[in-house]
């Protein structure tokens, strides 16, 4: 596997990029970036440049890592306490990137981040001991170079063929007073274990098709709602071409008002359907 250096349009000075070819023929971009919290030595628009860099990489297979020095960001809720940190979080979400670091990497704060364009590209990021005299911890993770196929070829539960009658019978037969013991967290864990055991018994497993019919995040209800929209748009495009043709025809002065009103009505009819 050979790596080729890549230059981005972003004006951040502390960044380096390369690309490697993965199995499906695409180029995976791998980058390391550093954002200093010291505004006296950083560029004037450093925070903006980082967001512009992420926007430039939108839609490309990507592995981005580095120390971005946003210690107060709550990644579980995607909330940043300052405008700069919230703008950074918003750029991550707008680029559909997955943040994989969940533990503190520097004195308990999550400063070092690992982000990918595919959720399945990285399984777990392990936070190890410190690197020499540095106050930052070492991060270790594995990268799947072919996450696109693994996303649609993995096994999943087939609830469409589940035995819900047996599940309901098992739930009715459960002695909940003996199962739900302890505090709220312990009761939830016990309840979760019961559900998972019933799931493994009465819900079959299926393998997803390698060729997807729809996007995995798009529900079938949304697909049904999108189809009429596409039909109306095609109808509008045909009527719009018809309107343009009518405008090219010589119109008598007496019939100009009717033609104009008719075109207005057709536009209103099209856009108000």
Q: Among the three residues 207, 228, 251, which one is the final residue of a domain in this structure?
A: 207
Please give the residue range of the domain that contains residue 238.
220-271
The answer as to whether 56 is a domain residue is yes
Torsion of CA 71, 77, 81, 87, to 10 degrees: 90
The distance of Cα 106 from the centroid of its chain, to the nearest Å, equals 26
Three-state secondary structure along the chain?
CCCEEECCCCCCCCEEEEEEECCCCCEEEEEEEECCCCCCCCCCCHHHHHHHHHHHCCCCCEEEEEECCCCCCECCCCECCCHHHHHHHHHHHHCCCEECCCCCCECCECCEEEEECCHHHECCCEEEEECCCCCEEEEECCECCCHHHHHHHCEEECHHHCCHHHHHHHHHHCCHHHHCCCCHHHHHHHHHHHHHHHHHHHCCEEECCCCCCCCCCCCHHHHHHHHHHHHHHHHHHHHHHHHHHHHHCCCCCCCHHHHHHHHHHHHHHHHCC
Q: Within this chain, do residues 17 and 92 fall inside the same structural domain, yes or no?
A: yes
Residue pair 132/172 in contact (Cβ under 8 Å)? The answer is: no
pLDDT at 146: 65
Q: Is residue 212 part of a domain?
A: no
In a domain, 215, yes or no: no
Q: Which stretches of the chain drop beneath a pLDDT of 50?
A: 148-152, 210-213, 240-273
Output the domain CATH number for residue 20: 3.60.10.10
Indicate if 251 and 168 belong to the same structural domain: no
Question: Are 137 and 70 contained in the same domain?
Answer: yes
129 phi/psi in degrees, rounded to 5: -75, 180
Position 209 scores a pLDDT of 56
Largest CA distance in the chain: 90
In terms of domains, do 8 and 136 share one?
Answer: yes
Tokens of 238: 């045909």
Same domain, 133 and 176: no
Residues 116 and 168 in one domain: no
From CA 96, how far away is CA 226, in angstroms rounded?
A: 22
Closest by CA to 216, choosing from 129, 148, 263, is 148
Residues 120, 25 share a domain: yes
Do 147 and 163 belong together in one domain? no
In a domain, 214, yes or no: no
How buried is 122 (Cβ within 10 angstroms: 0-12 exposed, 13-18 middle, 19+ buried)? Answer: buried
Whether residue 197 lies inside any domain: the answer is yes
Looking at residue 247, its pLDDT comes to: 41
Contacts 24+ apart (CB under 8 A), 195-199: 198/167, 198/170, 198/171, 199/157
> Does residue 59 sit in the same domain as residue 191?
no
Residues 125 and 258 in one domain: no
* pLDDT tens string 76-99: 888 888 888 888 888 888 888 888
Check whether residue 90 and residue 129 sit in a common domain: yes
Tally Cβ neighbours within 10 Å of residue 117. 20
- Please tell me the predicted confidence (pLDDT) of residue 42: 64
44 occurs within a structural domain: yes
Domain presence at residue 253: yes
Count of domains forming the chain: 3
pLDDT at 252: 47
Residues with Cβ within 8 Å of residue 43, at least 6 apart in sequence:
11, 12, 13, 49
Which of 165, 182, 207 marks a domain boundary? 207
Tell me, yes or no, whether 144 and 163 share the same domain: no
Does 213 map to a domain?
no
């Amino acid at each position: 596997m050979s790596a080729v250096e890549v230059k981005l349009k972003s004006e951040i000075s502390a960044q380096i990029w390369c690309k490697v070819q993965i199995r499906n023929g695409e180029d995976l971009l791998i980058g390391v970036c550093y954002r200093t919290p010291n505004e006296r030595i950083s560029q004037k628009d450093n925070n903006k440049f980082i967001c512009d860099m992420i926007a430039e990489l939108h839609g490309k297979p990507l592995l981005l890592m580095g120390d971005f020095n946003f210690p107060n960001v709550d990644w579980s809720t995607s909330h940043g306490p300052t405008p700069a940190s919230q703008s950074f979080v918003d750029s991550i979400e707008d680029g559909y990137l997955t943040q994989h670091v969940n533990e503190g990497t520097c004195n308990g704060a999550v400063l070092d981040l690992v982000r990918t364009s595919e959720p399945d590209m990285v399984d777990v990021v392990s936070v190890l001991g410190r690197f020499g005299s540095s106050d930052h911890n070492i991060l270790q993770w594995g990268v799947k170079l072919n996450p696109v196929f693994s996303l649609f070829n993995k096994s999943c539960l087939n609830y469409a063929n589940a035995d819900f009658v047996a599940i309901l019978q098992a739930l009715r037969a459960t002695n909940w007073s003996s199962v739900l013991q302890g505090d709220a967290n312990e009761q939830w864990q016990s309840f979760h274990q019961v559900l998972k055991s019933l799931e493994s018994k009465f819900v079959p497993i299926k393998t997803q098709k390698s060729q997807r019919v729809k996007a995995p995040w798009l529900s079938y209800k949304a697909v049904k709602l999108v189809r009429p929209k596409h039909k109306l748009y095609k109808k509008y495009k045909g009527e719009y071409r018809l309107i343009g043709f009518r405008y090219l025809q010589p119109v008598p002065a007496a019939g100009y008002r009717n033609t104009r009103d008719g075109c207005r009505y057709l536009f209103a009819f099209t856009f108000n359907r």
